[in-house]
């Protein structure tokens, strides 16, 4: 059984979307999943009234009376509200009563909470967000997707290791190719930090480091040195490109809809519009902490919550957390 | 008459594409344009044989025996090859014999040459590339598009002014909105440099500064504070997002072609595929130097060269160069 704690109070439409996502997950995912809805019991029960057919035998409701708002300062909120849904759910995972945590709430608070309560793996300097970019071919993991805006070279090397283990365990890539985002492929290109990271990555063991990749290589999943599975960058750039990509998908969907209204009924159109809609995707893992945490968009619909539950299950089953610990334990991954 | 010097030896298919672009420009653009093809006369004449109908009366061939290769070190190449097409063409502009320069050659060499030969405007710390992003609505200028990988806050403020004048003069925006690319709209968000730039930009006169914008606001051209015409970022991010966008266009074009082969003959499809093809666009201005310079993709087709000639004409006619000088001359634009 995989026990997934879901922040019932996170997200723009909590707890309704979370409860609906739970209903979907319990219906569509294998019976090994058990969902722990963490939040205000009364609110959760009210939301559950809309889903009379839900499988209550695989559902726990865990009381957490406090809510951390989207605008609250992360660290102060986590410290000041130990009975918040975020703190309670992470505490359950810490003491072994839960296997994974999913929240569409305050991203900063989830990061701060995970780092404070679950702690980082030894050798990891900062947790990073892994953003899986859907493409026409294989998906590509961009790390950091927004957790750290100013990164030094050693942190970028950390991200390369975290991304590589995630690509192996969850994206099921045998020998993941890791590229460093840069403005060109030549040795002398790039910012000071990126040049330094490049030198460190060339010397590191246990990674298939491809060298520099460019912005165009993310969606092709290819660079001169081969197939790209992971792209390493600081969280400022990762966040900007991720949000840019979401908006590009919306823009193209709008253009398609406007230019060819007559094809929209076809299954190919449904498929393509689904691909272009970022809200279909299931959140982003927070990597480097001892545990499993997934951060979802505040505006996630129920289907995205369900997809996050599915991904959390893959993370647990593949023993990603243990594998990350092992990657850093030898010291080889510590730049 | 507007005299446009075109690097006949730049680009992956020089001089053929440059000559073909010249033929297109002389045929399709107003008769006020005069093209100066700068390069090896013999090679240019050979390429011209394919265009017997070209208007030789509006075409000059200027001999430049040396060629700067794509892989050469910019500064060493410019200094070591004063008779290269890039150096000769920029020298013509410097002494008033030409109004603008376009090259699809070695980008670094064009930047180094423009900075050394034409010089920066007083008060401008570094030249920046302006990348015009096509969108479903109004285009948005991203600056810096790749000239400077490590930027400090004062340089970002420079870019804001350069972009604002360009948006006014060439994109014809009455009162351009300028946003600073960031990971969120809140005051405390962003890297140290971006936070510092934000404080400087808030205090600056003569700019309609909108505050922070996010990756998603580039293509919508909108943020909470209003309409976005210019997005300021360092050249590392600008380059990454620009290349990412080009590849996204290619990917979407491929998906469209594959999903709906039967609609491809329609004018709407031609229009959309043209929009998605970055090579249709006409290069990027190098802003901050005393003069007019446009940098094109190495792989630019003839149509892109023609579009660059058109944009160069707009830059000259709008007196962009003089307006940038005036913007910085008062000292108000100098952070």
Cβ atoms within 10 Å, residue B237: 27
A179-218 residues touching B, CB cutoff 8 A: 181, 183, 189-192, 194, 214-218
List b or e across A132-155, with b for residues whose CB sees 16 or more CB atoms inside 10 angstroms: bbbbeeeebbbbbbbbbbebbbbb
Cβ of B280 under 8 Å from any chain A Cβ? Answer: no
Q: What is the pLDDT of residues B240-287, one digit of tens each?
A: 999 999 999 999 999 999 999 999 999 999 999 999 998 778 899 999
3-class DSSP assignment, residue A304: helix
What is the band of A334 on the pLDDT scale with cuts at 50, 70, 90?
Answer: low
Share of chain B above pLDDT 90, in %: 93
Give the mean pLDDT of chain A. 95
- pLDDT of residue A110 exceeding 90: yes
Q: B211 and B195 in contact (C-beta within 8 Å)?
A: no
DSSP A55-96: -GGGEEEEE--B---TTS-HHHHHHH-TTBHHHHHHHHHHTT
Cβ of A239 under 8 Å from any chain B Cβ? Answer: yes
Cβ atoms within 10 Å, residue B49: 8
B288-327 residues touching A, CB cutoff 8 A: none
Q: Which two tokens stand for residue A239?
A: 């966040």
Q: Which two tokens stand for residue B184?
A: 């969120």
User: Which residues of chain A does B233 touch, with a Cβ-Cβ cutoff of 8 Å?
Assistant: 240
Q: What pLDDT score was predicted for residue B331?
A: 65
DSSP type of residue B81: -
Alpha helices in A49-191 (DSSP H): 74-80, 85-94, 107-113, 153-169
Q: B234 and B181 in contact (C-beta within 8 Å)?
A: no
Residue B305, CA distances (Å) to B21, B66, B118 in order: 5, 21, 22
Q: What is the pLDDT of residues A34-59, one digit of tens each?
A: 999 999 999 999 999 999 999 999 99
Q: B155 and B126 in contact (C-beta within 8 Å)?
A: yes
Q: What pLDDT score was predicted for residue B280?
A: 77
Q: What pLDDT score was predicted for residue B189?
A: 86
Is A236–B260 a contact, with Cβ atoms under 8 angstroms apart? no
Cβ of A134 under 8 Å from any chain B Cβ? Answer: no
- How confident is the model over A243-267, as a mean pLDDT? 96
- Residue B101 pairs in a beta bridge with B5, B293
- How confident is the model over B21-46, as a mean pLDDT? 97
Q: What pLDDT score was predicted for residue A187?
A: 77
Q: What is the pLDDT of residues A78-98, one digit of tens each?
A: 999 999 999 999 999 999 999
What is the band of B332 on the pLDDT scale with cuts at 50, 70, 90?
Answer: low
Q: What is the pLDDT of residues B220-238, one digit of tens each?
A: 999 999 999 999 999 999 9
Q: What pLDDT score was predicted for residue A335?
A: 53
Per the listing, tokens 């690319």 go with: B181
Is A136–B251 a contact, with Cβ atoms under 8 angstroms apart? yes
CA distance A159 to B6: 44
End-to-end CA distance of chain B: 37
CA distance B214 to A240: 6
Q: A312 and A102 in contact (C-beta within 8 Å)?
A: yes
Q: What pLDDT score was predicted for residue B335?
A: 53
Identify the helix (H) or strand (E) that includes residue B83: none
Closest CA to A238 of A330, A309, A145, A312: A145
Cβ of B140 under 8 Å from any chain A Cβ? Answer: no
- The backbone region for B211, taken as left when phi is positive above 0, alpha when psi lies in -120 to 50, beta otherwise, is left
Q: B201 and B157 in contact (C-beta within 8 Å)?
A: yes
Cβ of B255 under 8 Å from any chain A Cβ? Answer: yes
Closest CA to A134 of A262, A273, A4: A273
> DSSP E strands: which ranges in B59-139?
59-63, 100-103, 128-133
Q: What pLDDT score was predicted for residue B334?
A: 55
Q: Which of A183, A219, A260 sits opposite B149 (nearest CB)?
A: A183
Is B243–A190 a contact, with Cβ atoms under 8 angstroms apart? no
Cβ of A133 under 8 Å from any chain B Cβ? Answer: no
Shortest Cα distance, chain A CAs vs residue B20, angstroms: 28
User: Which residues of chain B does A149 touch, with a Cβ-Cβ cutoff of 8 Å?
Assistant: 183, 189-191, 194
Is B239–A215 a contact, with Cβ atoms under 8 angstroms apart? yes
Is B244–A272 a contact, with Cβ atoms under 8 angstroms apart? no
Alpha helices in B142-291 (DSSP H): 153-169, 192-203, 217-220, 235-259, 267-276
What is the band of B48 on the pLDDT scale with cuts at 50, 70, 90?
Answer: very high
CA distance A294 to A129: 9
- pLDDT of residue B186 exceeding 90: no
Q: B11 and B18 in contact (C-beta within 8 Å)?
A: yes
- How confident is the model over B15-37, as a mean pLDDT? 97
Lowest mean pLDDT among B142-156, B186-200, B242-256: B186-200
* Interface-testing mutation among B106, B216, B297, with chain A (most A C-beta atoms within 10 A): B216
Q: Residue A267: is it exposed, middle or buried by C-beta count within 10 angstroms (0-12/13-18/19+)?
A: exposed
Alpha helices in chain A (DSSP H): 16-28, 41-48, 74-80, 85-94, 107-113, 153-169, 192-203, 217-220, 235-259, 267-276, 302-317, 320-329
CA distance B176 to B234: 19
Q: What is the pLDDT of residues A124-174, one digit of tens each?
A: 999 999 999 999 999 999 999 999 999 999 999 999 999 999 999 999 999
User: Which residues of chain A does B252 touch, with a Cβ-Cβ cutoff of 8 Å?
Assistant: 248, 252
Q: What is the pLDDT of residues A294-318, one digit of tens each?
A: 999 998 999 999 999 999 999 999 9
- pLDDT of residue B200 exceeding 80: yes
């Amino acid at each position: 059984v995989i026990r997934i704690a879901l922040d019932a109070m996170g997200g723009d439409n909590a707890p309704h979307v979370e409860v609906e996502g739970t209903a979907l997950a319990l219906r569509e995912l294998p019976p090994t999943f058990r969902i722990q809805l963490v939040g205000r019991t009364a609110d959760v029960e009210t939301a559950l009234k809309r889903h009379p057919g839900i499988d209550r035998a695989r559902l726990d409701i865990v009381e957490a009376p406090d809510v951390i708002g989207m605008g609250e300062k992360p660290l102060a909120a986590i410290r000041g509200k130990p009975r918040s849904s975020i703190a309670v759910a992470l505490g359950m995972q810490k003491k072994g009563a839960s296997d994974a945590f999913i929240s569409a709430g305050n991203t900063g608070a989830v990061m701060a909470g995970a780092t404070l309560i679950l702690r980082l793996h030894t050798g990891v300097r900062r947790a990073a967000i892994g953003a899986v970019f859907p493409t026409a071919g294989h998906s590509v993991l961009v790390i950091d997707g927004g957790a750290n805006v100013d990164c030094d070279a050693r942190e970028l090397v950390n991200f390369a290791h975290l991304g590589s283990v995630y690509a192996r365990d969850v994206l099921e890539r045998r020998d993941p190719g890791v590229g460093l985002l840069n403005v060109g492929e030549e040795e002398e290109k790039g910012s000071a930090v990126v040049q330094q990271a490049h030198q460190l990555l060339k010397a590191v063991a246990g990674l298939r480091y491809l060298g520099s990749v460019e912005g165009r290589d993310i969606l092709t999943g290819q660079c001169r040195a081969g197939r790209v599975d992971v792209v390493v960058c600081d969280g400022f750039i990762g966040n900007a490109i991720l949000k840019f990509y979401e908006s590009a998908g919306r823009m193209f969907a709008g253009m398609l809809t406007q230019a060819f209204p007559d094809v929209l009924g076809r299954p190919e159109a449904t498929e393509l519009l689904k691909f272009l809609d970022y809200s279909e995707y299931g959140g982003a893992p927070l990597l480097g902490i001892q545990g499993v945490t997934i951060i979802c968009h505040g505006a996630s619909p129920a289907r995205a919550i369900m997809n996050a539950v599915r991904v959390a299950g893959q993370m647990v089953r593949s023993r990603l957390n243990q594998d990350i610990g092992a990657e850093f334990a030898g010291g080889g991954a510590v730049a």
